[in-house]
């Protein structure tokens, strides 16, 4: 018998790519300093079933990538806790992501 609790199940909610980009940008907002704000690329969104993948590259003015990682981690946790969404925010557009739709 396992000591871990089962992962909660959530009702399916349908988002368009545009709605998801807006939601991710909204969840990023509390962690955004004006001088190094991150922007989600609106054409780099992929729905992989139970996971969404979006791209928010580091800002060129960022001197510390650990700051980027901290902000991304907090945003991904917020999206899961508040919106019941599994979102992976990537720093670059991966080759497998079709951005020419």
**Would you state the pLDDT for residue 38?**
92
Residue 101's pLDDT band (cuts 50, 70, 90): low
Q: What is the mean pLDDT of the chain?
A: 86
Q: Strand pairing partners for 47?
A: 52
Mean of pLDDT values over 54-64: 86
Residues with Cβ within 8 Å of 10's Cβ and at least 6 positions away in sequence, in order, are 84
Domain residue ranges of the chain, discontinuous segments joined by +: 17-90
**Would you state the pLDDT for residue 60?**
81
CATH topology of domain 17-90: GMP Synthetase; Chain A, domain 3 (3.30.300)
What confidence tens digit (pLDDT) does each residue in 15-54 have?
Answer: 899 999 999 999 999 998 878 889 999 999 999 888 999 9
Quote the CA–CA distance of 79 and 87 in Å, as a whole number: 7
């Amino acid at each position: 018998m396992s000591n871990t609790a089962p992962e909660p199940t959530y009702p399916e909610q349908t988002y368009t790519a545009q709605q998801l980009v807006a939601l991710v940008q909204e969840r990023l907002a509390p962690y955004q300093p004006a001088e190094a704000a991150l922007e989600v690329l609106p054409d780099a969104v992929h729905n992989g079933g139970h996971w969404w993948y979006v791209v928010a590259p580091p800002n060129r003015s960022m001197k510390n990538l650990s700051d980027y990682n901290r902000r991304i981690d907090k945003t991904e946790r917020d999206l899961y806790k508040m919106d019941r969404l599994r979102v992976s925010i990537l720093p670059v557009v991966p080759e497998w992501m079709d951005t020419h739709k």
